[in-house]
Structure 1
Amino acid sequence: MELKLKPSESYLKQLSFFRVIIALFCIFQAMAIYPNLLELYGANGMINSEIGDAFISNVLIRPNIQNLYPYLSPYLSAELFSYLVFYIYVLFLLLLTVGYRVRLFSALSWLFHLILINSALHFNYGVEQFTKICLFYCVIMPTGYFAAISKKVINETKNDLIPFISVKILQFHLCIVYFFGGLGKIKGTHWLNGEAIWRSIEQPQFQQFDMSWIAAYPLVLKLLGLFVVFIEISYPIFVNIKKMRGIHLILVIILHLNIAIFMGLRYFAAIMILFNLSAYGYSYLSAFSHQFINRILSVMNKYKRILKNVFATPNIQNYD
């Protein structure tokens, strides 16, 4: 008998999936940063904190390692304090992943992530901003009802509409981001004539391969630029048409995979792919996982029957 989930329960599972993959992403990103922790966040890092503060002096409240350290300077060295903040951040993310006191540790993870990115503003780009937004969504949305050791009891009358609105907020956010990203691209000529593609793959800080040969094929660059603009500006239309959603999601994932491969922005590509899968791709992932698990169970049962027949005790009758 097939179990039919109520809409609210399905949305709650989707939001719990969002929490888990965002927390895991943050942990993997933190592990990648760890070898260069002091260079990024330390008092004697690549960019002195006083220089960084000079560019954002108009911000009244900006918690960061440099501003918080004086309160503990009599007890800890600056390097040890940087490591302590980092370790606490990772601990909170682990607790968020397993679903312990989800609302509390979502808020603490978001706060410590904010402290870290505020400590290295000049090294931040899109991935930090989207990670900060996703962690904030974990704070305000009901993401702790499934895959959580502190599992909450579903109250249908209270949570029937909230999960639905929460998922729609995730979807609306992506629609706004992609649409206005595409709209901004068509205002100029750089994306329409392929120049932006050329610059993206040939800038020294982004260049992963020698792609100079592609300059001989301007039509290819132009088509790639038009492809990016089309994917982004048509995003709100096609992802909200059920028959087109899967195809457009695949195109978006291909777009971000190419950003990771040819520009080296792997974590930005990863957070965008995970965001898309959480907002629009969860039903496909859920269906695929169920089919995969059922297939595995079917194969296991098949071999179980074979082994049972092989090792079964023969029924020997005595005719004496």
Structure 2
Amino acid sequence: MKNLNAFYTKIENFFFRQDNQTEFLSFFRIAIGIVILLQFAAVLPDFEKLFSSNSIIPQDIMSVFTPDWLITFSKIVSFLQTLGIEESATMAITKVSFITLCILIITGFYSRISALLLLILQIALLKGSSFFAYGADFFTSMSLFYLILFPADQHFSLRNFIFGRKPGHSNITPVKRLFQIHISIAYFFSGLDKALGFNWWNGESIWKAIHLPYSNRDLNIDFSWLIEHSYLISLIGWSTIIIEICYPFFIWYKPTQKTWLFFTVSMHIGIALVLNLYYFSAIMIVWNITNFYFEQSDKKTVTSSKKKISAEYIPKQVGS
């Protein structure tokens, strides 16, 4: 019975223990806001070609794969046209709204409401043009979802500065644990999926990836020398599987947490530079740093605080 109570207490402390460490909230809000803003700025010159009625892929074709009940950007445009609002005006309002909401999130001015509105707008754009979507878009949606759950504008925010509010105190541990478990599961099953096939073990997937039409366009690295050293390609594939499938085990274990965080971030930097998947890599790096980098710094702060209290307490006892 005692062992069961002790186990229950550990579970309860893990999910609900008050966490006074809040730096990760400001980092996550600002970093994700900047990444989403930069991603949208990159799409902005081609916005009409992707989302208008004259898009590269006709809206009729893309709507075939979209449920009727789902609100998409094309449906919003059609609805506003019935009210006398032209498509060009809707396009302009959408661009200004998207950028404004990103700035509100970055500055911390009612970031939860801004994240909710931006999530609705982002999903409407994403689901209405699914042919143009890739991993970064889905992780953008999930990032905005966590910004809705987190009270990210309670610290280092424009809202507090304008209204003179003091940082609020709320238990953010349950949402933080949900976020940490989410990223751990995502990496594990991503690694497991790679491990079940043979393409990652023999390096075939790596070789194909670095020779995709959109890959290696910025640095233009010559990878032809890898033909004579094929074992390096296999080694990269093995490393990717190991980093991902072992992520839940080594990232939670304190002695290896910092090392595995470095391996994971390095992997995404390599993906960004070689495959040119900058925004996907940026979001994943932000997720990793948000969830586990500040765990280390918080641990050090607590330890140093305990040592300081002990150092101040012992002399008083001796002196008395």
Do the aligned residues in 2 keep the contact of 1:19 with 1:143 (CA within 8 Å)? yes
Residues 49, 286 of structure 1: alpha-carbon distance in 2 compared, 3 angstrom cutoff: farther
The CA distance in 1 between the partners of 2:88 and 2:198, in whole Å, is 47
Query: Match for 1:241 among 246, 253, 256?
Result: 253
Match of 1:3 in 2: none
Cα deviation code 1:182-209 (max 9, x no counterpart): 1111111100111111111112233433
Are positions 1:197 and 2:197 aligned together?
no
Cα deviation code 1:19-65 (max 9, x no counterpart): 22111111111111111111111211111111101123xx2432222
Shift of 1:142: 2.2
SS of alignment partner, residue 8 of structure 1: coil
Q: How does 1:301-312 map to 2 (within 5 A)?
A: none
Query: Match for 1:135 among 144, 153, 164?
Result: 144
The CA distance in 2 between the partners of 1:170 and 1:243, in whole Å, is 21
Percent identity between matched residues is: 26
Are positions 1:16 and 2:26 aligned together?
yes
Q: How does 1:215-234 map to 2 (within 5 A)?
A: 215-234=227-246
SS of alignment partner, residue 152 of structure 2: coil
The CA distance in 2 between the partners of 1:260 and 1:285, in whole Å, is 26
Larger Cα-atom Rg: 1
Match of 2:71 in 1: 63
The CA distance in 2 between the partners of 1:199 and 1:155, in whole Å, is 50
Shift of 1:175: 0.4
The CA distance in 1 between the partners of 2:36 and 2:237, in whole Å, is 31
Partner letter of residue 247 of structure 1?
T
TM-score normalised according to structure 1 size: 0.80
Cα deviation code 1:269-310 (max 9, x no counterpart): 11111111111113567899xxxxxxxxxxxxxxxxxxxxxx
Are positions 1:53 and 2:63 aligned together?
yes
SS of alignment partner, residue 72 of structure 1: helix
Query: Match for 1:27 among 27, 37, 50?
Result: 37
More deviation in 170-179 or 202-211? Answer: 202-211
Structure 1: runs of 5+ lacking an equivalent: 1-5, 289-320
SS of alignment partner, residue 71 of structure 2: coil
The CA distance in 2 between the partners of 1:65 and 1:112, in whole Å, is 8
Do the aligned residues in 1 keep the contact of 2:261 with 2:288 (CA within 8 Å)? yes
Are positions 1:123 and 2:135 aligned together?
no
Q: How does 1:281-292 map to 2 (within 5 A)?
A: 281-283=293-295
The CA distance in 1 between the partners of 2:177 and 2:299, in whole Å, is 20
Give the RMSD, CA atoms, in angstroms: 2.2
